[in-house]
Chains A and B, each alone.
Chain A
Amino acid sequence: MPGEDAAVGSSVEAVFREERGRLLASLVRRFGDLDLAEEVASEAIEAALTHWPTDGVPSRPGAWLLTTARRRAVDRLRRDRVLATRLAVLRAEAERADHAPPADADRDLPDDRLALFFTCAHPALAAPDRGALTLRFLAGLTTAAVARAFLVPPATMAQRLVRAKRKIRDARIPFRVPGPDELPGRLPTVLQAVYSVFTEGYAASSGPELQRIDLAEEAIRLGRILRRLLPAEREVAGLLALMLLVHARRDARTGPDGAMVLLDDQDRGRWDRQMIEEGRGLVVVALTGPGPGPYGVQAAIAALHDEAADVASTDWPQVVALYDVLLGLVPSPIVALNRAAAVAMRDGPAAGLALLDELADEPRLRGHHPYPAARADLLRRLGRWNEAAAAYRIALTLVGTDPEREYLLRQLRSVPTE
C-alpha cells in the first residue's frame, strides 16, 4: 500500500511542519506562552487535517490555522482563570518592555519566527538544549524525532524540553528580536544552534551511521529560513553556504558498503554541483565587506575544496591563509588542528606534524579522535610505521561511529610492521 499514500502523507506533513513553526511563533507572540501555543497549534493542524480534505483548502491557509488556534486558546483561557491572569501579566510586561513590532512577510501572515529563533537559542539556556528547542519549535520535529536526532532516549529529551520550556516561562526569557546593538552578541548562539543540528547530521557523534542526511537537510532548511529573515546578516549567508558546500559531498562521503570515504578519495563526480554553485554564491555574500565572520571563512575553505578537481590541485596556500584568518577569529585548538593538516598538504607531512606536536598538551584535543588520527596519517606518510600504528590505536579508543572505526582499522592494518 505505502507508495502513493505515504508520499501524500509525508508531503502534507512537510507542509504542516513548515506552517507549524510560523503558527507557533505567531501564537507565542500573541499569548506569551509556549505550552499554550504548542497545544492550540496542534489542535488547529488536527482540525485542518479533518476539514480541508472535505471542505477544500482555504484561500489563506495560514490565516485559517491562526484563527482556529486563537479561538482554541481563547476557549482555554475562559476555562482557566489562573492561566488567563498569568498571561495578562505577561502581556502587560511585554508592553512595558516596548519590544519592536514584527516585520511583515510576503505571506498571508506576519512572520514571527525570528523572535522564536532568538528565544530557543537564548544564551541563558544550556547549549545542547538550544539545538533541541530549535529543532522542536522551528523545524517542527516531534519530541521523539528530536530525541533521535541527538541520540538520547525520548523520555530524556522530553524531560530536557520540559525543563528548558519551564526556564523560558519562569525566568521570563523574552520572545523578541534583539535590537541592532544587541544583535552581534546574540546572533552567534542562534547560528550555533542550527549548526549543531547540521554537524550532528553530518558527522553523527556515535552510532552505526556515519551521516544522517535528514538531519543535515533539516539544518539547511532552518538556515534558509534564517537567511530570508535576516538577509543583511553576512554570517547567516556564511552558515548556509558552509552547510551547502559540505552537504554537496554527501553521496561521495560513504562507499556502497557504508564505509567512510575521506575527502582525498571521494569521487568528485558525485558531488552536487548545483548545491556547490548555490553555496559559492553565498560565500561571495558572506565575504563581501569588512571583517568576515567564522562561518563565512569556513565556507570559503569548503568552497576551495569543492572547486578543486582533486586533492593535489587544491589551492592549499589559500586554504592555509583562510585557516590563519579563522584562527584569528576563533582561537581554538580544533581550528589549529585543521590548519596543521592543510600546512602538511602545502609544505609536506613533516611541517604539519611539527605543528600537530605543538598541540599535544591542548586539553580540548585530549579525547578528540581526529587529533591522533591526523598524527597517524602524517607519521605514515613519513614512513614512521610504529608511531603511526600507535597513533591509530589511540584514535580507535576515542572514535564514536562504526564507519569511522572501520576506516581507522583499515588504516591501521595497512601500516607495515617495522
Chain B
Amino acid sequence: MKYMLLFMSPLVDGEAVGNGCTFEDWIRYDREMKDAGVWVSGHPLQDLTTCTTVQVGPDGERTITDGPFAETRELLGGYDVIDVPDLDAALDWAARSPGAIGTGSVQVRPIAEIDVPV
C-alpha cells in the first residue's frame, strides 16, 4: 500500500517557520527509507517565492498569480511516497522524519489506487 507523506510547516507573514532540522537530517532519513526498501518517490520543494498559482475561469481564461493563495497558513515543503504494509508502518515512517518535530507536521495520505493490481 502506498502512502504519501506531506511535510508541512506553518507560515507566518508569508515566511515558512523552520523546525531546526538540517539538510543532513533529511539525507539520513532518505537513506533509511531507501535501505528499508519502502521509498517509491519524493522531492523537496523550493520555497514559496518561486510559487505561482494558476486558475482557469468558466470562460476558459487563465489567471496567473504570484505566490500561493493569500489564506495559505501552511507550507508544503516536500513529500515522499512510500510503499508499506499498513497505516501503522506509514505513521511510523512519518514519525521518524525530520519534518515531524517541533513546529513541523506530517500529513499521511493513502494513495488512491484506481486499478486494482491483479
A82 CB-CB contact with B under 8 Å: yes
Assess whether A89 is in contact with B116, with CB atoms less than 8 Å apart. Answer: yes
CA–CA, A402 to B87, complex, Å? 43
Which residue of chain A has the shortest Cβ distance to B89 in the bound complex? A97
Instruction: Give the chain B neighbours of A172 by CB distance below 8 A.
Output: 1, 85-87, 110
B40 CB-CB contact with A under 8 Å: no
A351 CB-CB contact with B under 8 Å: no
B118 CB-CB contact with A under 8 Å: yes
Residue-wise interface mask of A (170-204) relative to B, using a CB-CB cutoff of 8 A (1 in contact, 0 not): 11111010100000000000000000000000000
Which residue of chain A has the shortest Cβ distance to B91 in the bound complex? A124
Instruction: Give the chain B neighbours of A122 by CB distance below 8 A.
Output: 87
CA–CA, A173 to B117, complex, Å? 20
What total of chain A residues lie within 8 Å of the partner, measured CB to CB?
Answer: 17
Per a CB cutoff under 8 Å, which of A82, A85, A86, A174 touches B86? A174
Instruction: Give the chain B neighbours of A170 by CB distance below 8 A.
Output: 110
A80 CB-CB contact with B under 8 Å: no
CA–CA, A122 to B118, complex, Å? 29
Assess whether A97 is in contact with B85, with CB atoms less than 8 Å apart. Answer: yes
Assess whether A86 is in contact with B88, with CB atoms less than 8 Å apart. Answer: no
Assess whether A174 is in contact with B117, with CB atoms less than 8 Å apart. Answer: no
Instruction: Give the chain B neighbours of A174 by CB distance below 8 A.
Output: 85-88
Secondary structure dominating the interface of B: loop
Known contacts A93-B1, A172-B1, A124 near B87 by CB under 8 Å: yes
Per a CB cutoff under 8 Å, which of B87, B116, B118 touches A173? B87
What total of chain B residues lie within 8 Å of the partner, measured CB to CB?
Answer: 11
Instruction: Give the chain A neighbours of B89 by CB distance below 8 A.
Output: 97
Known contacts A85-B118, A170-B110, A93 near B87 by CB under 8 Å: no
Instruction: Give the chain B neighbours of A178 by CB distance below 8 A.
Output: 88
Most chain A Cβ neighbours within 10 Å, of B1, B86, B87, B116: B86
Instruction: Give the chain A neighbours of B88 by CB distance below 8 A.
Output: 173-174, 176, 178
CA–CA, A302 to B88, complex, Å? 36
Assess whether A171 is in contact with B116, with CB atoms less than 8 Å apart. Answer: no
Most chain B Cβ neighbours within 10 Å, of A122, A170, A171, A174: A171
A60 CB-CB contact with B under 8 Å: no
Residue-wise interface mask of B (103-118) relative to A, using a CB-CB cutoff of 8 A (1 in contact, 0 not): 0000000100000111
A364 CB-CB contact with B under 8 Å: no
Within 8 A of A (CB), among B40-97: 85-89, 91
A79 CB-CB contact with B under 8 Å: no
B5 to A: closest C-beta gap in Å: 13
Instruction: Give the chain B neighbours of A124 by CB distance below 8 A.
Output: 87, 91
A96 CB-CB contact with B under 8 Å: yes
CA–CA, A96 to B89, complex, Å? 11
Assess whether B86 is in contact with A173, with CB atoms less than 8 Å apart. Answer: yes
Within 8 A of B (CB), among A96-134: 96-97, 122, 124
A181 to B: closest C-beta gap in Å: 11
A359 CB-CB contact with B under 8 Å: no
Instruction: Give the chain B neighbours of A409 by CB distance below 8 A.
Output: none
A85 to B: closest C-beta gap in Å: 5
Known contacts A124-B91, A170-B110, A97 near B116 by CB under 8 Å: no
CA–CA, A204 to B26, complex, Å? 49
Instruction: Give the chain B neighbours of A94 by CB distance below 8 A.
Output: 85-86
Assess whether A171 is in contact with B85, with CB atoms less than 8 Å apart. Answer: no
Assess whether B116 is in contact with A85, with CB atoms less than 8 Å apart. Answer: yes
Assess whether B116 is in contact with A86, with CB atoms less than 8 Å apart. Answer: yes
A129 to B: closest C-beta gap in Å: 15
Sorted from nearest, which 7 A-B pairs have the closest CB atoms? A97-B85, A174-B86, A93-B85, A172-B86, A171-B110, A96-B85, A173-B87
The chain A residues found within 8 Å of chain B, CB to CB, are 82, 85-86, 89, 93-94, 96-97, 122, 124, 170-174, 176, 178
The chain B residues found within 8 Å of chain A, CB to CB, are 1, 85-89, 91, 110, 116-118
Supply 13 A–B pairs (Cβ within 8 Å), ascending by A: A82-B116, A85-B118, A86-B116, A89-B116, A89-B117, A93-B1, A124-B87, A171-B87, A172-B85, A172-B87, A173-B87, A174-B86, A174-B87
Apart from A173-B88, A174-B87, what are 14 other A-B pairs with CB-CB below 8 Å?
Answer: A85-B116, A86-B116, A89-B116, A93-B85, A94-B86, A97-B85, A97-B89, A124-B91, A170-B110, A172-B1, A172-B87, A172-B110, A174-B85, A178-B88
